């Protein structure tokens, strides 16, 4: 067996120019398969971690997925606001333990601004039911206090006491900046691996103060600007919020509360279950995921077809070689094993190269993906599924070598010690 391996290796190395192209395309296929699988898995992980602590999300009646995506992940189209009266009504519901109203719409240098109540730091849960913790400073108290998520502080290099200017909307121009009412960073949250890290948290009253001079999405042009001090003296009770995160006393009450919310007479509301809605989301993109996976498999098939073609065409020129092997006692079956071993070596190299590239990209690109998209790609040992994918590539390589191997078997049998041609 050892000699079979050595000869197979020497033989494959001898034809490394043509085979290296096959190895590269197998590596690409493996890379694609592993990347699609890892992204698929981690995105699901990320998303469910972000919503794990919330029983219900209440907002204006729109699409459930849209509400979830906008409220929790700050992506997609904004939803209509709901009145603060609805929040108060929710709070009075007997099954409700806590409510966290949140207001979205402003940004700071690309990061979302979340306006909420001090209860947020006490009741919000993520991941395996973990509470928020502060790595520095304290929660907000003053109208113009801000608590930064871990990524915000790290990427922008902010420390406590930093003055920040918030911007209305998510555009790139500073025309929508609230320059007249800067905020001060008073706390930094510990890393959670959820969209909380990429958010700037302020009080609902602060959000209200920012928009005293605003109407219909823009500052009233030419008008005198209200100063921060003046704003603080005004009535800053929130009138509208984007949505409410709700925690119940018992999880079992979730459907009853959902029905009560649907029946609320003040305005059209809806209550969504985060887990159920996420499943709906995954169902929607399942087809896209399948398309990606199919594409990766197709690349693999093309690579294997290439392997077959390369080995087949080489066989004609190897007939003398096979006769030599025959003369030293290697029978047709040994020749078949030789070709299978060569195929194994090629596909093993391809899979290993692809897996290495995948690990490298994960390690090097993971931080960038997190900064740009907020998705944490875990760099660690492959999951069972990923290992199976790699193994499938190798097995497919051996299977692809069966036909050339069989042909070599027949050739060796027929030619014996006197190969025709070549």
Partner 1 sequence: MMIHNARPQVSRALSPRLVLALASVFCSLWALSPAAWAQSGSARQASAARTLSWEELVPKDWDPMALFRDKPTALIREGSAAELELMREMREVWDKAPTRAELKGQRVRLPGYVVPLDMVGDKLQDFLLVPYFGACIHSPPPPANQIVHITLKRPQAMRTMDVVWVTGVIDIERQDTGMGVSGYAMRADAVEPYRTPEGKR
Partner 2 sequence: MSTLHLSPDTTPNTALLMQGVRFGYTGADAATLNLDRLSLQRGERLMLRGPSGCGKSTLLSLAAGVLLAQKGTVELMGREWAGLSAAQRDALRVDHVGYIFQQFNLLPYLGVLDNVLLPCRLSKRRRERAASVHGPIEGAAAALLDALELPTALHRRPAAELSVGQQQRVAAARAMIGQPDIVIADEPTSALDEDRREGFMRLLLDQCTRAQSALLFVTHDARLARHFERVVELSGVNRVDQGVS
Site residues (CB under 8 A) for partner 1? Answer: 17, 78, 81, 83, 109-110, 168-173, 175-176, 215-218, 220-223, 239-240, 267, 317-318, 320-321, 422
Contact yes or no for 419/320 (Cβ under 8 A): yes
Q: How far is the CB of 173 from partner 1 (least distance, A)?
A: 6
Q: How far is the CB of 417 from partner 1 (least distance, A)?
A: 16
| DSSP letters for 231-269 | HHHS-----EESEEEEEESSGGGHHHHHHHHHT-SSS-E
**Complex with partner 1: residue 199 or 240, whichever CB lies closer:** 240
**Complex with partner 1: residue 1 or 173, whichever CB lies closer:** 173
**Complex with partner 2: residue 23 or 299, whichever CB lies closer:** 23
* Distance between CA atoms of residues 221 and 116, nearest Å: 28
Select from partner 2, partner 1, none the partner in contact with residue 263, using the beta carbon and a kind-dependent cut-off of 5 to 8 Å.
Answer: none
* Distance between CA atoms of residues 293 and 288, nearest Å: 9
Q: How far is the CB of 294 from partner 2 (least distance, A)?
A: 38
Q: How far is the CB of 315 from partner 2 (least distance, A)?
A: 15
Q: How far is the CB of 1 from partner 2 (least distance, A)?
A: 10
Count Cβ neighbours within 10 Å for each residue of 375-391 and write b for 16 or more, e otherwise. Answer: bbbeeeebeeebeebbe
Position of tokens 């036909």? 403
Select from partner 2, partner 1, none the partner in contact with residue 288, using the beta carbon and a kind-dependent cut-off of 5 to 8 Å.
Answer: none
**Complex with partner 2: residue 39 or 315, whichever CB lies closer:** 315
**Complex with partner 2: residue 131 or 416, whichever CB lies closer:** 416
Beta strand 163-164 with 199-203 is unpaired
Q: How far is the CB of 313 from partner 2 (least distance, A)?
A: 17
Select from partner 2, partner 1, none the partner in contact with residue 237, using the beta carbon and a kind-dependent cut-off of 5 to 8 Å.
Answer: none
Select from partner 1, partner 2, none the partner in contact with residue 323, using the beta carbon and a kind-dependent cut-off of 5 to 8 Å.
Answer: partner 2
* Burial bucket for residue 227 (CB in 10 Å: 0-12, 13-18, 19+): exposed
339's tokens: 């070709």
Q: Which of 334, 260, 273, 233 is nearest to 68 (CA)?
A: 273
**Complex with partner 2: residue 156 or 323, whichever CB lies closer:** 323
Q: How far is the CB of 336 from partner 1 (least distance, A)?
A: 19
CA 49 to chain centre: 12
Q: How far is the CB of 45 from partner 2 (least distance, A)?
A: 48
Using CB under 8 A, list all residues that contact partner 2. Answer: 3, 6-7, 10-11, 13-14, 320-321, 323-334, 416-418
Select from partner 2, partner 1, none the partner in contact with residue 259, using the beta carbon and a kind-dependent cut-off of 5 to 8 Å.
Answer: none
Q: How far is the CB of 78 from partner 1 (least distance, A)?
A: 8
SS3 content of the chain, % helix, strand, coil (to 5): 55, 15, 25
211's tokens: 């928009």
DSSP 175: G
Dihedral angle, C-alpha 35, 36, 38, 40, nearest 10 °: 160
Select from partner 2, partner 1, none the partner in contact with residue 163, using the beta carbon and a kind-dependent cut-off of 5 to 8 Å.
Answer: none
Select from partner 1, partner 2, none the partner in contact with residue 7, using the beta carbon and a kind-dependent cut-off of 5 to 8 Å.
Answer: partner 2
Dihedral angle, C-alpha 116, 117, 121, 126, nearest 10 °: -40
Select from partner 1, partner 2, none the partner in contact with residue 109, using the beta carbon and a kind-dependent cut-off of 5 to 8 Å.
Answer: partner 1
Select from partner 2, partner 1, none the partner in contact with residue 10, using the beta carbon and a kind-dependent cut-off of 5 to 8 Å.
Answer: partner 2
């Amino acid at each position: 067996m050892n000699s079979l391996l050595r000869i197979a290796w020497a033989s494959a190395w001898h034809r490394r120019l043509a085979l290296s192209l096959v190895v590269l395309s197998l590596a690409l296929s493996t890379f694609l398969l592993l990347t699609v699988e890892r992204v698929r898995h981690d995105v699901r992980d990320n998303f469910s971690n972000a919503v794990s602590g919330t029983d219900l999300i209440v907002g204006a009646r729109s699409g459930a997925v849209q509400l979830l995506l906008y409220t929790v992940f700050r992506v997609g189209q904004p939803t209509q606001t709901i009145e603060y009266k609805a929040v108060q009504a929710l709070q009075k519901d007997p099954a409700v333990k806590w409510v966290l109203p949140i207001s979205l719409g402003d940004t700071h240098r690309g990061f979302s601004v979340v306006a909420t109540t001090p209860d947020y730091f006490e009741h919000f849960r993520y991941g395996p039911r973990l509470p928020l913790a502060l790595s520095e400073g304290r929660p907000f108290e003053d109208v113009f206090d801000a608590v930064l998520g871990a990524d915000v502080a790290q990427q922008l290099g902010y420390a406590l006491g930093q003055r920040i200017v918030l911007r209305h909307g998510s555009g790139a121009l500073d025309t929508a900046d609230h320059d007249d009412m800067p905020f001060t960073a008073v706390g930094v949250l510990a890393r959670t691996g959820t969209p909380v890290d990429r958010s700037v948290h302020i009080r609902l009253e602060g959000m209200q103060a920012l928009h005293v001079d605003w109407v219909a999405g823009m500052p009233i042009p030419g008008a005198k600007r209200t100063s921060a001090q003046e704003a603080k003296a005004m009535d800053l009770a929130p009138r509208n919020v984007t949505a409410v995160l709700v925690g119940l006393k018992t999880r079992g009450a979730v459907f009853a509360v959902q029905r009560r919310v649907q029946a609320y007479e003040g305005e059209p509301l809806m209550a969504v279950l985060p887990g159920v809605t996420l499943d709906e989301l995954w169902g929607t993109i399942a087809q896209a995921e399948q398309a990606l996976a199919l594409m990766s498999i197709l690349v693999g098939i093309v690579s294997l077809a290439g392997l077959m073609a390369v080995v087949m065409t080489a066989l004609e020129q190897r007939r003398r070689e096979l006769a030599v092997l025959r003369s030293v006692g290697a029978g047709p079956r040994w020749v078949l094993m030789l070709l299978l071993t060569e195929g194994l070596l090629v596909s093993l190299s391809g899979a290993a190269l692809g897996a290495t590239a995948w690990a490298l990209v994960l390690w090097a690109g993971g931080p960038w993906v997190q900064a740009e998209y907020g998705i944490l790609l875990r760099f660690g040992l492959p999951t069972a599924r990923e290992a199976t994918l790699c193994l499938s590539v190798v097995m497919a390589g051996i299977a692809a070598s069966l036909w050339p191997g069989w042909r070599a078997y027949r050739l060796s049998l027929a030619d014996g010690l006197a190969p025709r041609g070549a």
